[in-house]
Structure 1
Amino acid sequence: MDTMYASVILPYLSHALLLVSAVLLFWLYLANRKAVKAAERSYPPGGSFVEVEGTRLHYLEKGKGRPLVFLHGGILSSYDFSAVLTEAASRGYRAIAFDRPGYGYSERPKKRRLTPRDQAHLLKEALAALQAEQPILVGHSWSASLALAYALAYPRELSGLVLLAPGAYGGKAYPAGAADLLLGQLMRLPLLGSLLAHTLLPPLARKLSFAMVQSTFSPDPVPAGYLAAARALWARPRQLKANREDVLAYVQTVPDMERHYASIATPMVIVVGEQDPFRPELQGLRLHRAVKGSQLVRLPQTGHMIPDVNPKAVVDAVELLDL
């Protein structure tokens, strides 16, 4: 009797479970779409757009003079350089901060993965379109890998490099764990990646944003309004997907790049916060030892978010290049 009962009821339970799961995912999808629209109403794009190879890139720009190009880290955006743009423009630079592909309001190519080298190529084309010749590149965190890829591929087209709390090495030096890499691989799957990005991951990202922001800024205070903007913009599906893909691309690309850092002749300044939780001795200090002639700036009592907490130090580092 029990066996007969189970054979009848179990299929109904399975179907009910599938139906409940589908309804929940659909509800999450609609809720996340609503959250994205609200976020983009509250924090609309404040810059201009340039199209390269069919991809629209959003950027902020201030001032006139030598091109100074800012590249944000991790899951961030060009807005992390807002105060730096003002500081740089006041010192006579043409300051440009890009949203990297998939972040902020920049599109991301859909049919191919983007390594730091690929993003360097897109950046080169964007700068050509903007007639920003012989720029100085300023890369924060993850974007140090992009700036280094640019220097390795196009050394004659750069005036200098400033790397802030740089990510330049993989392996144990990079804080991504096995779960990060697995999620990056899942996000690259066409159907499953989109499903995760539009349903389960956004509410999780919003829930974790407070701890992420606090730990990344520590020991520096979080600027007023920063957490609200991060919770709104970081949790958008395309930005989450771009970030997970970039973590995976970094791990797969940087180990090969490391072998060539010593050949970089472009003038370079490396800036590290002495209280950076991502251990500058494994990244920025190691890069300083590898690149002969590079200059090192240590900021005491400073964490990882140098562009947000010390914009003056960023432009001071640019002027150390003495070009």
Structure 2
Amino acid sequence: MSASSETPPPASVSQGRPPRRWLRRLLWTGLGLALLLVTGTVYQAVSAAADERDFPPPGRMVDVGGHRLHLHCLGEGRPTVVLESGANSMSSGWAWVQSEVAKTTRVCAYDRAGNAWSEPGQGPHDAAHVVEQLHTLLANAGESGPLVLVGHSLGGLFVRLYADRYPEQVAGMVLLDASHPDQLERLPGSARKQFELGVKMMALMPALVQVGLVRATGLFDAMGRGLPERAFAEAAAFASTPRHMEAAHDEMLAWDDSAAQVRATRGLGDRPLLVVSAGAAAGAPELVPAFQALHREMVSLSSRGEYRLIPEANHLSLLTDQAHARQASAAVLDVVLQVRAPPVAGAASP
């Protein structure tokens, strides 16, 4: 038989089809991912249920019209100090400061709508809505003025607007490494890039929380590390809930509206004001001097404004480090004592 008459070899059975080993790998990878997601979701649900049991609200749940906010007050005396947290923070973050200030006067920390123990509301998360909810919360809880407002980070915007809307209630203010309404326009360009990146990351957080990744990695534990044990556990637990993450994201999305509202406010007149800056960097060191310059400008909001630098503290440790928080508490108590002091004869009243 000639070579030309030989029967050609059969075509490969795999011709025109992907190799079976790749199909098997794809299948097992998909099954593995699905198993991880299911396991993570179950882990998150079980852990969240345990947190709800182990960490009941330490304060009161107060109705503010359709939903309830958590308010935790300690101490006695006047004026009443009201603590306003920064973004992605909560009332437990004030544990060191609140316990120290409570030795001298009444002091209240609370959680904004959707944060920590507070129930979500229907309104926006801009400064105007936050202020109205805080005003309703204090009124419904029977916490009357005079008030000394203390704002950390983003909370600095909220207390400034509160003082403008309800000047008759506010006797003094402390701004702790507070946000400035013009900071994204006036700080180096890296600040806006960091802010925009933070907003994008926060948008992903609820989904990552839902499948247990945030809890398993302790992604936000550093924000509360250094607090008393109970407060740290509460902060870590609520940083691992989708609701808290969604509220924090919504507050960041409302930045432009909040900043515009604060730009339109008046000053504090002759009510005492203490502006405190952290001297060390928690993130980008090149931004620290620029932030401090903005803080010094805010001293002019009051004819009795003062500036104080805590060199060894950073933005977070002002509250979470016991020694640094003691210095922040001293700043709050300095304003409390100024409010308590009798007016000087012939001086204008606030």
Q: TM-score, normalised by structure 2?
A: 0.73
Q: Report the CA distance between 1:40 and its aligned residue.
A: 3.4
> Are 2:99 and 1:86 equivalent residues in the alignment?
yes
Q: Report the CA distance between 1:239 and its aligned residue.
A: 1.6
Q: Report the CA distance between 1:229 and its aligned residue.
A: 4.5
Question: Which residue number corresponds to residue 171 of structure 1?
Answer: 184
> Are 2:290 and 1:256 equivalent residues in the alignment?
no
- Give the secondary structure class of the aligned counterpart of 1:177: helix
Per-residue Cα deviation, 1:6-65 (whole angstroms, up to 9, x for no partner): 599999998887776555433322211122223334433211111101121112112233
- Give the secondary structure class of the aligned counterpart of 2:86: coil
Among candidates 248, 251, 270, match of residue 246 of structure 1: 251
- Give the secondary structure class of the aligned counterpart of 2:106: strand
Distance in 1 (alpha carbons) for counterparts of 2:128 and 2:224: 28
Among candidates 234, 241, 261, match of residue 236 of structure 1: 241
Among candidates 34, 38, 42, match of residue 30 of structure 1: 42
> Are 2:17 and 1:5 equivalent residues in the alignment?
yes
Among candidates 127, 133, 140, match of residue 122 of structure 1: 133
**Contact (CA 8 Å) 2:90, 2:115: kept in 1 or not?**
yes
Q: 1:287 to 1:257 in 2, by over 3 A?
A: farther
- Give the secondary structure class of the aligned counterpart of 1:45: coil
Question: Which residue number corresponds to residue 55 of structure 2?
Answer: 43
Q: Which amino acid aligns with 1:130?
A: A
Question: Which residue number corresponds to residue 313 of structure 1?
Answer: 330
Unaligned residue ranges in structure 1 (runs of 5+): 188-192, 215-221
Among candidates 184, 189, 199, match of residue 181 of structure 1: 199
CA RMSD of aligned residues (A): 3.4
Question: Which residue number corresponds to residue 69 of structure 2?
Answer: 57
Question: Which residue number corresponds to residue 167 of structure 2?
Answer: 155
Unaligned residue ranges in structure 2 (runs of 5+): 1-12, 341-350
Structure with the greater alpha carbon radius of gyration: 2
Distance in 2 (alpha carbons) for counterparts of 1:89 and 1:231: 24
Q: Which amino acid aligns with 2:178?
A: P
Among candidates 89, 96, 119, match of residue 108 of structure 2: 96
**Contact (CA 8 Å) 1:141, 1:167: kept in 2 or not?**
yes
Q: Which amino acid aligns with 1:240?
A: M
Q: Which amino acid aligns with 2:199?
A: L
**Contact (CA 8 Å) 2:224, 2:236: kept in 1 or not?**
no
- Give the secondary structure class of the aligned counterpart of 1:180: helix
Runs of 4+ in 1 over 6 A off after TM superposition: 7-19
Q: 1:297 to 1:132 in 2, by over 3 A?
A: same
Q: Which amino acid aligns with 1:29?
A: T
Q: Which amino acid aligns with 2:244?
A: Q
Distance in 2 (alpha carbons) for counterparts of 1:318 and 1:291: 13
**Contact (CA 8 Å) 2:267, 2:301: kept in 1 or not?**
no
Distance in 2 (alpha carbons) for counterparts of 1:301 and 1:194: 34
Q: 1:3 to 1:133 in 2, by over 3 A?
A: farther
Per-residue Cα deviation, 1:138-181 (whole angstroms, up to 9, x for no partner): 11222111111212333233222212121223416467432222
Distance in 1 (alpha carbons) for counterparts of 2:82 and 2:63: 17
**Contact (CA 8 Å) 1:162, 1:317: kept in 2 or not?**
no
Q: 1:229 to 1:289 in 2, by over 3 A?
A: same
Question: Which residue number corresponds to residue 71 of structure 1?
Answer: 84
Distance in 2 (alpha carbons) for counterparts of 1:212 and 1:263: 32
**Contact (CA 8 Å) 2:93, 2:224: kept in 1 or not?**
no
Q: Report the CA distance between 1:118 and its aligned residue.
A: 1.0
Q: Report the CA distance between 1:223 and its aligned residue.
A: 4.3
